[in-house]
């Protein structure tokens, strides 16, 4: 499978200016492609092909006075911007037809220089390289200093350079991993576990383990509130407002990075220790529309479950999702009798049939494991029919989460 390994970049002043030019040129080509498609739609004409757009918007545009500066950046960056526009339209039409899973996607929009995230992508034919001194040598940008937090397991097929809202630069390398080597790294185990996600505790496991919720956003609220107040008091368009905006973005990035690090460590631990994992298929979007929205977003369940999915696939583990309407909190895990719904303030209850006293979350985790029906043979192969490791598509440059760790 393909994964992304992210590392922090530290470009100097000249390299930052070169990257800004590259971001701007890629943005212009992307917007030109969207504009050309929109004009064709309004005129009732066929959409221009990728080859036609490349000839018109890149090759011929470089020879004009209005777009001559496109020649100052690598041509691969411009071609990849066209590919991004093509992919955006493919996903949009697939969403309209219902052939793409997930929420309905909107029509591709124009990019802005004020967008919080800017990115460019270099493929292998761009002739980028990693120097002997450990720097990332990019065409028409130079050798950029990299903070290597780990060794790349294989030769990357492409690299995406990203600037986030906090003004940080990252290099994201696409790596093709070896499934056999990945599975060999995981210790042999026949353990299975059920997980009940919550807000009082981030997760309660079927073996009784309770993992506290770090509440990263709640703990940083006071600092975030102060930084946001300072931002609102600055005059719009001033340099002080730009500095204050950067301060707010950095505070939010710190919270997001801490939450992502927690999810990575916990998901890796669970995958390492268990051959089979059962979780509930939560409707995070629905829960985020309730009065608990802030706490739900702070917990980051969707990100955590996504990590479990691709790590289970990568390391040959089994991840089973049970239906969200399964009455895990209403059923006695000892005798199986359904005892009815209970308000959230009830954390312990006694089964009326067998008299067993249950911890609400631990009982739910046991029921999640039972509903998943996990069973593992000695050869580490999942025995339960239909239990297939969750799939993960190749990571693209649009969905990359800024951070220091590899996915």
Report the candidate in 196, 178, 242 with the shortest Cα–Cα distance to residue 359. Answer: 196
Burial of 266 (0-12, 13-18, 19+ CB in 10 A): middle
Helices 239-273 and 301-314 cross at an angle (nearest 10°) of 50
Smallest Cα–Cα separation from 298: which of 248, 258, 350? 258
Which residues does residue 166 pair with via DSSP β-bridges, in sequence order?
A: none
* Alpha helices for 190-273 (secondary structure H): 216-232, 239-273
Instruction: Please name which of 372, 187, 390 lies closest in space to residue 305, comparing C-alpha atoms.
Output: 390
| Active-site pick, 32, 84, 164, 196 | 196
Active-site annotation holds for 280: yes
Q: Residue 244 in contact with residue 234, Cβ under 8 Å?
A: yes
Alpha carbons 197 and 202: distance in angstroms, whole number: 6
Residue in 84, 164, 280, 339 annotated catalytic = 280
Residue 361 catalytic?
A: yes
Q: What are phi and psi of 348, to 5 degrees?
A: -135, 145
The contacts of residue 56 (CB under 8 Å, 6+ apart) are 36, 48
So which residues are the catalytic ones?
Answer: 196, 280, 361
């Amino acid at each position: 499978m393909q994964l992304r390994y992210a590392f922090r970049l530290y470009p100097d002043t000249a390299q930052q200016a070169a990257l800004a030019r590259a971001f701007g040129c890629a943005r212009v080509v992307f917007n030109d492609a969207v504009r050309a498609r929109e004009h064709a739609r309004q005129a009732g004409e066929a959409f221009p092909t990728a080859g036609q757009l490349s000839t018109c918007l890149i090759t011929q545009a470089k020879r004009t006075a209005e777009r001559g500066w496109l020649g100052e950046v690598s041509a691969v960056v411009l071609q990849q911007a066209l590919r991004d526009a093509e992919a955006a339209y493919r996903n949009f039409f697939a969403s309209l037809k219902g052939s793409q899973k997930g929420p309905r996607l909107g029509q591709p929009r124009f990019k802005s220089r004020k967008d919080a995230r800017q990115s460019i992508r270099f493929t292998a034919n761009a002739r980028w390289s990693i120097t002997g001194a450990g720097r990332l040598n990019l065409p028409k940008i130079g050798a950029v200093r990299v903070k290597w937090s780990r060794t790349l397991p294989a030769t990357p097929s492409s690299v995406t350079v990203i600037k986030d809202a906090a003004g940080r630069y990252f290099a994201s390398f696409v790596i093709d991993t070896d499934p056999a080597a990945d599975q060999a790294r995981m210790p042999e185990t026949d353990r299975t576990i059920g997980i009940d996600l919550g807000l009082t505790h981030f997760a309660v496991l079927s073996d009784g383990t309770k993992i506290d919720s770090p509440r990263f956003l709640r703990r940083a609220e006071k600092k975030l509130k102060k930084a946001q107040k300072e931002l609102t008091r600055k005059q719009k368009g001033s340099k002080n407002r730009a500095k204050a905006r950067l301060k707010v973005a950095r505070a939010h990035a710190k919270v997001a990075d801490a939450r992502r690090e927690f999810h990575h460590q916990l998901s890796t631990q669970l995958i390492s220790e268990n051959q089979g994992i059962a979780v509930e298929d939560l409707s995070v979007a629905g829960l985020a529309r309730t009065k608990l929205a802030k706490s739900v977003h702070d917990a980051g369940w969707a990100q955590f479950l996504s990590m479990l999915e691709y790590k289970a696939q990568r390391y040959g583990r089994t991840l089973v999702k049970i239906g969200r309407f399964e009455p895990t909190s209403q059923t006695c895990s000892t005798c199986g009798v359904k005892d009815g719904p209970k308000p959230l303030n009830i954390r312990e209850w006694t089964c009326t049939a067998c008299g067993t006293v249950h911890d609400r979350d631990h009982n739910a985790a046991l029921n999640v494991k039972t509903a998943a029906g996990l069973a593992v043979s000695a050869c580490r192969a999942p025995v339960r029919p239909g239990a297939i490791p969750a799939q993960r598509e190749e990571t693209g440059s649009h969905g990359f989460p800024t951070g220091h760790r590899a996915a």
